[in-house]
Structure 1
Amino acid sequence: MAPAVVLCHGAWHIPRHYADVVTHLNSKGFTRVHVPRLPSATDTLPLPPTANLAHDTAEIRSTIQALVEEGQQVVLLMHSYGGVVGSNALDGLLWPQRQAKGLPGGVIHLIYMAAFVIPAGTSLTTPFEGEMMPWLTEDTENGIIHMNDPRHAFYEHIESDAEAQEWLDMTVLCPSSVVRDTLQCAPYERIGQGVDATYLVCSQDKELTVPVQEAMATLLGDTRTMEYCDAGHCVMLGYAETIADVVGRAYQRSRVRLEPTD
């Protein structure tokens, strides 16, 4: 039986932006795909008190926990800011952790796609000495941040301005807290010890450039798998089948390790 897939979306975006990924995963036999909307993905001002990393983490954790308690194997697919949320949500839910306690189910593979991979105890602003990233502008009055050039920062690979605008029209607010809140825990030391990891590098990403993505991926350890595609940051738009293929290959690698041999 194929594992469940939990997709942790990025900032400014909502599950609708990932609908084609779900469709392609379903077509490849991944029939249980969950894309919970993060509480920080809000279009409401003033911001609700749930618009932060802690509540985003709780949302993803509860989704994964329900699945693993059913005995499900889970592949966690994370995009952009979702890499922080997903990493923060995993303590006690990884396959080796549950196996050690005699419990069924667990997360067997972590897939980061143009996603942030940062050390525990840091935030996305840590490399900038606590200041906002240069490609963002902060609205301190409302506690939100704006992408300076969203058309190209998000959708560089989409040739049609009209199509890009359609996707932009669906975006929501991004609370400043998502880049300032600190990652509390990370699963990286478990990778290669009962859980696997893949990083999908998006070569046209204008802000998280290839060297930046590759550098972050080193935190996933020497056993990680690197995949590449010619997409901009929002790889889920136009490269959904590529993502589904990456998930399929990732699962097969974990499956070989998990299935008993004669």
Structure 2
Amino acid sequence: MATNTKPTIVIIHGGWHVPESYKELTTALRSNGYEVHVPRLASANQVRPPNADLSTDTELIRGYVESLVEAGHTVLALMHSYGGQVGTNALYGLGTEARSAKGLKGGVSHLVYMTAYAAPEGSAMMDKVKAFGHMDLVPLAFDFAEDGSCLSRDFRGLVVGPGRGDADTEAYVRTFVRWNGRCMYQPLERCAWREIPVVYVYTTADMTVPLDYQKSFVEAIEETGLKVQTFELATGHCPNFTATKGVVDVINKVCNR
């Protein structure tokens, strides 16, 4: 049984990222008293042609979080970018309220979307790009190989953005791996945000998931009658790296409400 009064944080990472990419954030959260887990998504295993996708990642994260909540942990899911698709798809039925109603301890207390996809059932990441009329930008932003794996054409400019020195940014980018880009075209089957409290962290200088995309996710959720707690960081797509303290401050505020 978990004894820490603070929730256990499970970071669900974004495309191209691996657990090492969140080293600074993980260290900062642990120094604030949190237990932190960063499972590596199977879609980032670098096998070619890719042998893992959204469904594989969903199964992995659901099993990982289930093991924690069944041990009595209260879990806060911190989802980054594509990690929002994975967490949304995986964590249904694991909320603290749903488990408490069954007489069970533990559960997921919050879904924290950190410039992440917070889409409904049946929606793929590329559907948002289509909705904003930006499909012509896809080949400019992403370098897809014939096997469907992909890289960004400009990790430093489009994904990371400003905020850190060149040497630090270069070291961060070196943690990135080739990712199964087909995940961006796969729709969600389930929708955990319908039953677990939602927090959204806007990043105002994001070049990968633009602010208007982010706000449209929140607007769509609130149109269903749910309330979303929002925070704003003046940084790019990787606040875990470029605004680490800001992310920790958000988590502390969410957990101390």
- Of the structure 1 ranges 168-177 and 74-83, higher mean CA displacement relative to structure 2 is found in 168-177
Structure 1 position 143 matched with structure 2 position 148? yes
CA deviation profile, 1:134-160 (whole Å, cap 9, x unmatched): 253353522112323221111112353
Q: Give the aligned partner of residue 112 of structure 2.
A: 111
Q: Which amino acid aligns with 1:233?
A: H
- Of the structure 1 ranges 78-87 and 169-178, higher mean CA displacement relative to structure 2 is found in 169-178
Within-5 A mapping of 1:183-222: 183-190=188-195, 195-221=196-222, 222=226
Paired with 2:182 and 2:136, the residues of 1 have a C-alpha distance of 11
Q: Which amino acid aligns with 1:202?
A: T
Structure 1 position 38 matched with structure 2 position 41? yes
Q: Which amino acid aligns with 1:249?
A: K
CA deviation profile, 1:13-55 (whole Å, cap 9, x unmatched): 111110111111112111x2110000011233232x2x20011
Paired with 2:122 and 2:137, the residues of 1 have a C-alpha distance of 18
Q: Give the aligned partner of residue 65 of structure 1.
A: 66
User: Unaligned regions of 5+ residues in structure 1, if any?
Assistant: 254-262
Q: CA deviation at 1:81?
A: 0.2
Secondary structure at the counterpart of residue 29 of structure 1? coil
Q: Give the aligned partner of residue 90 of structure 1.
A: 91
Question: What is the identity percentage for the equivalent residue pairs of Structure 1 and Structure 2?
Answer: 32
Asked whether the 8 Å contact 1:109–1:251 carries over to 2, the reply is no
Asked whether the 8 Å contact 1:153–1:207 carries over to 2, the reply is yes
Q: CA deviation at 1:89?
A: 0.7
Secondary structure at the counterpart of residue 179 of structure 2? coil
Higher-helix-fraction structure:
2
Secondary structure at the counterpart of residue 239 of structure 2? coil
Asked whether the 8 Å contact 1:136–1:145 carries over to 2, the reply is no
Q: Which amino acid aligns with 1:76?
A: A
Within-5 A mapping of 1:158-173: 158-173=163-178
Residue 159 to residue 14, structure 1, CA distance change in 2 (3 Å) = same
Structure 1 position 239 matched with structure 2 position 239? no
Aligned residues: 246
Asked whether the 8 Å contact 1:61–1:90 carries over to 2, the reply is yes
User: Unaligned regions of 5+ residues in structure 2, if any?
Assistant: none
TM-score by length of 2: 0.89
Q: Give the aligned partner of residue 33 of structure 2.
A: 29
Paired with 1:145 and 1:136, the residues of 2 have a C-alpha distance of 10
Paired with 2:7 and 2:232, the residues of 1 have a C-alpha distance of 23
